[in-house]
C-alpha cells in the first residue's frame, strides 16, 4: 500500500536565548489543518513528544549478531588459510563430496534460492538504519487538531506498540491560527534532537505551519514529495488498536513510583530463561501485587487500586516495551492500566498535566497487532444500513468527539447500532477511540479512502467463516437470552469433505461482544481466545444474526412489560 505526501519545506526548530519555535510541515495534499500557539507546560510536553519518538523507533525483534569484525579478520587471514587448505586438499575434497550433494538438493528449494536476496535485503536495511535513520521510518506521525485537543499518533517499527500523545487546549496560550482536521507531518530524527532543547525558562511556540497551504506554485523547489510503500499489516495493525480498546478490561490505578519500580527491576535484571512475564495478582480490598517471572521477584504497590471483584491473575508479556514510559515518570500524575486478560493487549495511560500519553501493547512483542490479534472480530457484528451509517458519521462530524450515548440520542438509533457503525468506521481508518476519555473521535488516517478490498478480511479465520456461511455448513443453530442481558449461541459446524463436525458454543455480553466461547477445532485448542475467535465461532455468529435480532427484541419487550406491570 503506497502513501504519498507533499510537504512545503521541512519541519524544524529555531532557538534563541529566550524562545523556542517548533514548526511542523503538514501534508499539503490533504485538507488544510493548522494550529499555532504558545506552550505553557514545557517539560511535560517535551517528555511526551520524546516518549512518542521512542515508540516510533521501537523495534525489539531479534537481530542476529554482527559478524563484520570476524569477516574482516577472515579477509586478513585468507592467504594462510588457503595454504593450509592446499596442504590438505585431497582429504578435504573427499569430505566435501557428500556436502556438495546435499547443497545441490537444497538449491532446488525456493528458500535456498531466495536466501541471497533476503540476506542482501537485510544488509541494505541494516545499513539504512545505521547511516540514514530518517529513511528507516515507515510512516510519518499523524496529527489531529480537535476543538478540545491536539493529539499525535504513531506505530512502532515492529508493529507491536501504539502511541498517542494527547494535549488539551489548556496547555496553549495565544492560539493565533487553527483549522480542525487530521494531517501527516514531516518528522525527522533531527527534529527529535531539537525537542530535547526545550526548557522551562524559554517561550515555546508550536506551529503546524499554515504557510504551505498558501503557496500556489507546484514547481516551487521547497516542495518535496516522499512516496512510502507501507505493508498492509502496518495499516491493519493501526486499525486494530481502537477495536482492542473497546473490549472489557480490568482497570488499575498505579502511582508513578510503581512504574519507576517496574522499570528499575527490568533495568537491573536480564532474563536467561522463560517465562518472561509480569503476573498481576489482583485481590479485592488489597493493593496490586506484580510478580516478575522467572525471577520470582514480587512488587507490592500500596498506593494502587484496581477494579477486580474476585481473585484474578493476569499475565502479560513483552514487558521491556514498558521502558518507553520511563521518562514520563517524573512528570506524570498517575497511570491507568487497562488489562484485557492473560496474553491479551494492555493499555497504559500516563496522566500528565492537561495531557495524556497512551501506550498500547500487543499480547507480546512477536505477537504484532495485525497478524495475530484480530480484536475487531470480538466486536458487535450487527448489520447497519447505509442511512444509519451516514447519520452516525454526520453526528460525529458535527461534534468531532462524542460518546456512544450522545450519538444515540442525536441520531435516534440504538447504542448497539451506533457501536456497530462506529466499529466499521474504525476499520476504515476514519474514527479512533480515545480510551483516556472514553469518547469516539473523528480521525481520517489517510487522504484517500483505504483499499477495503485488500483489508476486508483481517484474518484467514474471518475469510474462512464467510465461506462456511456461504456453503451453509452451520446447522442446529440455537440462540438463548441470558439473565444478564447477553446471548448464548450454540450450533454444529460441518466441515468440508473428509473433515469432522464441530460443536460450537459462543457467549455474548449485553453489548453483543464476545465474552467467551468453546470449539473443538485445533485453532481453539492451541490458542483459546488469545488470537481471537476461530472460524467456526465466527461462522456461528454470522449464521445466528437474524435469530439474535429476534431474541434481543423479544427480551427487551418482555423487560418493558415487566417494568410497566411493576409500575
Reported residue count of the chain is 567
Task: Check whether 9 has a pLDDT greater than 70.
Answer: no
pLDDT top residue among 154 and 323? 323
Task: Check whether 116 has a pLDDT greater than 80.
Answer: no
β-pairing, 227-229 with 149-155? unpaired
Task: Band the pLDDT of 396: cuts 50, 70, 90.
Answer: very high
Task: Check whether 377 has a pLDDT greater than 60.
Answer: no
Residues 306, 264 contacting (CB under 8 angstroms): no
pTM of the model: 0.69
Q: Which helix (H) or strand (E) holds 422?
A: helix 415-427
Please give the domain boundaries of the chain with CATH numbers for all domains: 2-57+137-230 (3.10.150), 236-370 (3.10.150.10), 379-454 (1.10.10.10), 459-566 (no CATH)
Question: What is the model's pLDDT at position 131?
Answer: 54
Residues 6+ apart with CB under 8 A from 302: 287
* Residue whose entry in the numeric block shows the C-alpha cell 497511570: 335
pLDDT tens profile 539-549: 888 787 666 65
CA distance 153 to 429: 13
CA distance 466 to 473: 11
pLDDT top residue among 547 and 561? 547
Give me 371's grid cell: 497478524
pLDDT tens profile 331-355: 999 999 999 888 788 999 999 999 9
What are the backbone dihedrals phi and psi of residue 204, each rounded to the nearest 5 degrees, phi first?
-115, 125
Query: CA separation (Å) from 106 to 113, 122, 139?
Result: 9, 21, 38
Q: Which helix (H) or strand (E) holds 22?
A: strand 19-24
Q: Which helix (H) or strand (E) holds 492?
A: strand 487-494
Q: Which helix (H) or strand (E) holds 452?
A: helix 452-455
Angle separating helix axes 415-427 and 232-245, nearest 10 degrees: 160
CA distance 5 to 7: 6
Distance of CA 222 to the CA centre of its chain: 34
Q: Is 466 exposed, middle or buried (0-12, 13-18, 19+ CB in 10 A)?
A: middle
Residues 199, 121 contacting (CB under 8 angstroms): no
| Virtual torsion, Cα 186, 189, 190, 192, nearest 10 deg | 90
Lowest-pLDDT range, 154-168, 292-306, 344-358?
A: 154-168
pLDDT tens profile 178-220: 788 887 766 666 677 778 888 888 888 888 766 543 434 444 4
Amino acid at each position: 500500500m503506497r502513501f504519498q505526501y507533499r510537504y512545503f519545506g521541512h519541519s524544524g526548530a529555531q532557538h534563541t536565548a529566550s524562545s523556542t519555535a517548533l514548526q511542523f510541515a503538514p501534508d499539503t495534499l490533504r485538507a488544510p489543518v493548522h494550529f499555532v500557539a504558545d506552550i505553557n507546560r514545557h517539560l511535560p510536553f517535551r517528555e511526551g513528544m520524546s516518549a512518542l519518538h521512542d515508540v516510533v523507533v521501537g523495534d525489539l525483534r531479534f537481530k542476529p549478531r554482527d559478524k563484520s569484525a570476524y569477516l574482516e579478520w577472515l579477509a586478513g587471514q585468507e592467504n594462510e588459510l588457503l595454504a593450509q587448505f592446499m596442504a590438505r586438499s585431497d582429504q578435504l575434497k573427499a569430505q566435501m563430496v557428500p556436502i556438495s550433494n546435499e547443497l545441490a538438493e537444497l538449491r532446488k528449494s525456493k528458500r535456498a534460492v531466495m536466501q541471497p536476496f533476503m540476506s542482501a535485503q537485510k544488509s541494505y536495511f541494516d545499513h539504512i538504519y545505521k547511516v540514514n535513520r530518517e529513511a528507516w521510518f515507515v510512516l510519518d506521525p499523524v496529527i489531529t487538531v480537535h476543538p478540545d485537543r491536539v493529539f499525535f499518533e504513531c506505530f512502532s517499527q515492529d508493529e507491536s506498540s501504539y502511541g498517542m500523545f494527547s494535549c488539551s487546549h489548556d496547555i496553549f496560550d495565544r492560539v493565533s491560527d487553527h483549522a480542525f482536521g487530521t494531517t501527516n507531518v514531516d518528522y525527522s530524527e533531527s527534529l527529535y534532537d531539537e525537542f530535547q532543547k526545550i526548557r522551562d525558562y524559554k517561550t515555546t511556540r508550536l506551529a503546524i505551519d499554515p504557510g504551505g497551504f498558501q503557496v500556489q506554485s507546484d514547481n516551487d523547489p521547497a516542495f518535496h514529495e516522499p512516496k512510502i510503500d507501507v505493508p498492509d499489516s502496518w495499516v491493519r495493525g493501526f486499525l486494530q488498536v481502537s477495536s482492542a480498546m473497546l473490549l472489557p478490561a480490568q482497570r488499575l490505578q498505579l502511582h508513578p513510583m510503581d512504574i519507576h519500580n517496574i522499570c528499575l527491576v527490568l533495568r537491573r535484571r536480564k532474563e536467561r530463561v522463560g517465562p518472561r512475564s509480569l503476573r498481576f495478582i489482583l485481590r479485592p480490598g488489597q493493593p496490586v501485587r506484580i510478580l516478575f517471572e522467572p525471577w520470582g521477584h514480587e512488587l507490592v504497590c500500596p498506593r494502587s487500586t484496581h477494579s477486580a471483584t474476585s481473585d484474578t491473575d493476569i499475565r502479560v508479556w513483552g514487558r521491556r516495551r514498558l521502558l518507553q514510559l520511563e521518562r514520563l515518570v517524573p512528570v506524570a500524575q498517575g497511570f491507568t492500566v487497562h488489562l484485557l486478560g492473560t496474553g491479551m493487549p494492555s493499555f497504559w495511560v500516563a496522566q500528565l498535566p492537561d495531557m495524556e500519553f497512551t501506550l498500547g501493547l500487543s499480547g507480546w512483542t512477536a505477537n504484532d497487532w495485525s497478524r495475530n490479534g484480530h480484536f475487531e472480530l470480538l466486536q458487535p457484528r450487527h448489520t447497519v444500513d447505509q442511512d444509519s451509517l451516514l447519520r452516525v458519521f454526520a453526528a460525529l462530524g458535527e461534534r468531532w468527539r462524542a460518546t456512544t450515548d450522545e450519538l444515540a440520542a442525536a441520531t435516534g438509533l440504538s447504542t448497539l447500532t451506533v457501536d456497530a457503525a462506529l466499529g466499521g468506521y474504525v476499520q476504515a481508518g476514519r474514527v479512533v477511540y480515545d480510551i483516556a476519555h472514553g469518547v469516539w473521535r473523528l480521525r481520517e488516517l489517510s487522504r484517500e479512502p483505504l483499499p477495503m478490498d485488500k483489508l476486508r478480511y483481517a484474518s484467514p479465520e474471518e475469510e474462512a467463516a464467510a465461506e462456511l456461511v456461504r456453503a451453509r455448513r452451520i446447522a442446529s443453530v440455537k440462540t438463548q437470552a441470558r439473565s444478564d442481558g447477553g446471548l448464548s449461541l450454540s450450533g454444529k459446524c460441518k466441515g468440508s469433505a473428509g473433515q469432522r463436525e464441530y460443536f460450537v458454543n459462543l457467549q455474548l455480553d449485553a453489548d453483543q461482544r464476545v465474552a467467551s466461547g468453546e470449539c473443538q477445532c485445533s485453532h481453539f485448542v492451541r490458542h483459546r481466545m488469545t488470537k481471537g475467535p476461530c472460524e467456526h465461532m465466527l461462522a456461528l455468529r454470522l449464521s445466528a444474526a437474524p435469530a439474535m435480532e429476534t431474541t434481543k427484541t423479544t427480551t427487551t419487550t418482555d423487560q418493558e412489560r415487566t417494568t410497566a406491570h411493576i409500575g
